[in-house]
């Protein structure tokens, strides 16, 4: 009865110059099963087919952190945060794949975080912890502000909103990785304007297609180069209602 995830060793190798170990493949498989189970009670994802899950949840999550997989990334134990992680994407595949990182999985919905807590236990992932809260509040919290090397964010809002959620949480020199589907030049202009106000610069915009269905994706890499002014992030709801 088990839905078996494909291994796709060759595609991993060709696209990311990386392959999962036997243990990582087993963790991906268990993650997939737990999401299918959880989907019966919680509305976690509409992606349930094994190939689609592999592509849109696993591969897509890891494609964004390709720079961490292919280079000897410094610092050696980076502190990551995944903002609006939902059912755990991109955060959980990243946790499985980069065991030397510590990662905080943030979401405003308690039900989703409870679900993720169970996944972390089941997969014996000790390098991740969960946090319930709004990015606007966490970004003003002394324990979290300027505390992270890398902030990941996928499918949470417009890019300038993502910039306002991520940049305050980064240390200077840290990197925000914003996952997008389609992307236009006009959006680059808006994002440019937002990151200027937040102490960031757009370092790279990468366009690529997914390996099975050839869907278009973009990853935006924004570097924090200056302190973020204390008025950012603005109060809960303001970033999304009045994007920078």
Residue ranges in contact with ligand SAH by CB under 6 A: 84-86, 89, 106-109, 112, 134-136, 154-156
**CA 217 vs CA 59, 91, 230: distances in Å:** 12, 18, 32
CA distance 121 to 109: 19
CB of 88 to ligand SAH, least distance (A): 8
Q: Minimal distance in Å, beta carbon 77 to ligand SAH?
A: 23
Q: Which is nearer to ligand SAH, 155 or 229 (CB)?
A: 155
- Would you say 68 or 226 has its CB closer to ligand SAH? 68
Strands in 79-83's sheet, in edge-to-edge order, are: 128-132, 102-107, 79-83, 148-154, 170-180, 216-224, 200-209
CB proximity list for 82: less than 8 A, separation 6 or greater = 88, 89, 90, 91, 94, 103, 104, 105, 106, 151, 152, 153
CB of 53 to ligand SAH, least distance (A): 11
C-beta of 23: minimal distance to ligand SAH in Å? 24
* Residue of 106, 118, 107 lying closest to 30 (CA atoms): 118
Nearer to ligand SAH by C-beta: 112 or 144?
112
Task: Return the number of the residue (27 or 108) whose C-beta is nearest ligand SAH.
Answer: 108
Q: Please state the closest distance from residue 22 (CB atom) to ligand SAH, in A.
A: 26
Closest approach of ligand SAH to the CB of residue 38, in Å: 13
DSSP sequence for 11-69: HHHHHHS----HHHHHHHHHHHHHHHHHTTTS---S--SHHHIIIIIIIHHHHTTHHHH
Query: Quick one: tokens of 12?
Result: 């991993």
Nearer to ligand SAH (CB atom), residue 19 or residue 210? 210
- Specify the residue, 14 or 141, whose C-beta has the smaller distance to ligand SAH: 141
Separation CA 164–CA 198 (nearest Å):
7
Tokens of 230: 């204390």
């Amino acid at each position: 009865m088990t839905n078996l995830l494909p291994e796709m060793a060759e595609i991993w190798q060709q696209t990311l110059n990386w392959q999962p170990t036997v243990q990582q493949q087993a963790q991906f498989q268990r993650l997939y099963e737990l999401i299918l189970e959880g989907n019966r009670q919680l509305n976690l994802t509409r992606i349930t087919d094994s190939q689609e899950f592999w592509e849109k949840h696993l591969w897509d999550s890891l494609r964004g952190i390709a720079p961490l997989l292919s280079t000897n990334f410094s610092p050696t134990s980076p502190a990551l945060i995944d903002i609006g992680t939902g059912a755990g994407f991109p955060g959980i595949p990243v946790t499985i794949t980069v065991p030397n990182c510590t990662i905080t999985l943030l979401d405003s919905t308690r039900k989703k975080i409870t679900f993720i807590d169970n996944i972390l236990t089941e997969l014996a992932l000790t390098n991740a912890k969960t946090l319930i809260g709004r990015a606007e509040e966490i970004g003003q919290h002394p324990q979290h502000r300027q505390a992270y090397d890398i902030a990941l964010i996928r499918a949470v809002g417009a890019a300038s909103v993502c910039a306002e959620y991520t940049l305050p949480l980064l240390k200077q020199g840290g990197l925000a990785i914003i996952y997008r589907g389609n992307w236009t030049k006009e959006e680059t202009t808006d994002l440019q304007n937002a990151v200027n106000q937040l102490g960031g610069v757009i370092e790279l915009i990468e366009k690529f297609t997914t390996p099975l269905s050839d869907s278009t994706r973009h990853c935006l890499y924004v570097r924090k180069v200056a302190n973020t002014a204390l008025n950012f992030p603005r109060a809960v709801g303001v970033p999304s209602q009045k994007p920078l």
